[in-house]
Structure 1
């Protein structure tokens, strides 16, 4: 009776032993250059990066309006004092008696609303606006002009919320059940858009990054009563919002970096996968270690342009060995040399190899055959590989002309 597979993740070591038969997923790591989603004009090697803080003037105006409101409050307070001083003792007494008007106090200074932090645009551009495979340049000589525009920290609803506490609340020694803690849920976002154009003015990309335009909810510390929450908020509102502001900007600028690299970059990506090798003490599976060696050497050459031709030759030879084995496939016969499990292993190997020769239709066909076998661990591996196939197909097709 055959033992079941043990799968430690889609790309981890997979070993099956049935009598003398062994099916081992050998871990493989290699690098390849990921093509951009948007091809750039031939000969493009440099880019100029700029970050525009579209909200900066609004922040200045908000601060100016608050200063103006403070000045008006002080002027009004001083005017009220002078008018009160000019009243006779009789009028002062009547006003106090009939209108409950007393001596004016100090100016009531209006509370300032939170103002979005104004970051250093040059630092943001230097830190986050990078494109793999291109050199940063300044001025009109750059092949690409990248403009990242941020609308700044934008507050949404600030709503009170309650959470159950694990602490028992007691009144006069009598338990009243689980207590309730009070907090604020603060909605916020920091929308960012990206525009990329050539030095001739042709626009390659002009999009709002949707993930940055979606509200995130931050939660304050929870307090045992509403008064505690109110005191905390009065003393710490600006500091709390400033931390959300900074976290949001950092997270969203990292999204920008990944977005630009995916759309335009030629990044070296490390692929972690497996090549499955079959062996048996009584049955000849010599083509599997041979194919493993050829595929391994082929994959290792994918990241070096000088080795691409030889890499493709090695991968093709591995595919030929696996295809020959698949010609004997008989999944319904447990005694067949290429039984169900060996067929599944071979289909996976074959699909991965075809992917790196840009034979996307063939890779999809092989993965479809693999899924029809309905072996759960291979379904997981097939789904992961299928996502890579689709991504590579889109990138390859986008770069055909260039």
Structure 2
């Protein structure tokens, strides 16, 4: 089956036939250093990671309560045996006849509820608590203290569910039927607190995504008895796997949260610069602008070369702006016709973004959307998201 074209892949195929034009979207990749959403205090170079398990006491109490329940069950069973043993034969016969009381059996041990796993906090901290652009301190003397607090696996409702479907009724035939299983819900809330060396709290948040219940289904069986047998044998292993899965998922969310809020790491950008050419009409500014923009974009990975990057990108913008000055989208014979205008607007908007001229970038994208060319609408929407994110980060750091 043919795979759908990606947004960038589709852009590469852009072409126009007017004047024998060739409109080629050249795929490019470059890195840029993403600014943090929360600016760090001047002189911040290191951080001390810590993970706190806030549920360990609850787990200890849960296990202690179960041990008490087991001891009580055994004590009661032993007491019943002694009382039965102290009865005369006549009392035993009468109790059996009148009260249907028989010889006491062994203690009925209550089944333990699943207890959240208690992980190694230091291992979690070293594995998942990272801040790009900063050094991990050897002890607790980092410029930042990053505290990740786990509330542990929390069991939600376990609900019987029945599903209708086609079941095998014989070796060669199937028929409609009902399968039975359980729907299991669970969560594991996580909080993150980041504090500067002077005690200033930079962030103290409950990661919202970790507060919602996740729902999964067990295997299904033809009858309730089979389901119950399966659950008795496999419940603990099933829930333990959910516990491990959600811990890893949530700690990855923590890593993403910290990186976005406070990190300064290189981000790879995949985009395109469109180059226009024609055998009869001069479009020399387009390959020139392409080379200048590409050189400028490649310099964004090195903050010390910011001025050089701005110079190269600015020269590309000047060429595209000059071309847009003669834009005539309604004239198919114009040098800067509708399709060339659209390609130029996108090139120009991307370049203005990396010059931190966000208003200009958004204005160019607005002009592009007015042309209402579906493929460019999609590209403008994606670029608009990047513009908003960069504007937010740039503004926050500029204020600081």
In the superposition, the TM-score normalised over structure 2's length comes to 0.96
* Distance (Å, rounded) in 2 between the aligned partners of 1:322 and 1:314: 13
Query: Which residue in 1 is equivalent to 2:143?
Result: 143
Kindly state the Cα deviation for residue 168 of structure 1 after the two structures are TM-superposed: 4.9
Query: Which residue in 1 is equivalent to 2:393?
Result: 395
Kindly state the Cα deviation for residue 219 of structure 1 after the two structures are TM-superposed: 1.0
Query: Which residue in 1 is equivalent to 2:91?
Result: 91
SS in 2 for 1:292: helix
In the superposition, the TM-score normalised over structure 1's length comes to 0.95
**Alignment match of 1:188 (pick from 183, 186, 190):** 186
Query: Which residue in 2 is equivalent to 1:25?
Result: 25
Query: Which residue in 2 is equivalent to 1:130?
Result: 130
**Alignment match of 1:10 (pick from 7, 12, 20):** 7
**Ranges in structure 1 where 5+ consecutive residues have no aligned partner:** 1-6
Kindly state the Cα deviation for residue 182 of structure 1 after the two structures are TM-superposed: 1.4
Moved over 6 A (4+): none
**Ranges in structure 2 where 5+ consecutive residues have no aligned partner:** none
Please tell me whether the aligned partners of residues 143 and 199 of structure 1 are also in contact (alpha carbons under 8 angstroms).
yes
1:41 lines up with 2:41 in the alignment: yes
Once the two structures are superposed, the pairs formed by residues 342-361 of structure 1 within 5 Å of their partners are 342-361=340-359
Please tell me whether the aligned partners of residues 33 and 303 of structure 2 are also in contact (alpha carbons under 8 angstroms).
no
* Distance (Å, rounded) in 2 between the aligned partners of 1:364 and 1:264: 26
Query: Which residue in 2 is equivalent to 1:341?
Result: 339
Q: Deviations over 1:360-386 (max 9, x none)?
A: 000000001101111110011000000
* Distance (Å, rounded) in 1 between the aligned partners of 2:287 and 2:267: 26
Q: Deviations over 1:30-70 (max 9, x none)?
A: 00000000001011010001101000110011001101110
TM-aligned CA distance change 1:383 to 1:257, over 3 Å: same
Query: Which residue in 1 is equivalent to 2:73?
Result: 73
* Distance (Å, rounded) in 1 between the aligned partners of 2:180 and 2:376: 48
Please tell me whether the aligned partners of residues 190 and 250 of structure 2 are also in contact (alpha carbons under 8 angstroms).
yes
**Alignment match of 1:227 (pick from 212, 225, 228):** 225
* Distance (Å, rounded) in 1 between the aligned partners of 2:273 and 2:178: 55
> How many residue pairs were aligned?
394
Please tell me whether the aligned partners of residues 53 and 150 of structure 2 are also in contact (alpha carbons under 8 angstroms).
yes
1:52 lines up with 2:52 in the alignment: yes
Query: Which residue in 2 is equivalent to 1:110?
Result: 110
SS in 2 for 1:166: strand
Kindly state the Cα deviation for residue 8 of structure 1 after the two structures are TM-superposed: 3.5
* Distance (Å, rounded) in 2 between the aligned partners of 1:90 and 1:219: 55
* Distance (Å, rounded) in 2 between the aligned partners of 1:195 and 1:57: 21
* Distance (Å, rounded) in 1 between the aligned partners of 2:75 and 2:335: 96
* Distance (Å, rounded) in 2 between the aligned partners of 1:127 and 1:140: 17
SS in 1 for 2:398: coil
Query: Which residue in 1 is equivalent to 2:159?
Result: 159
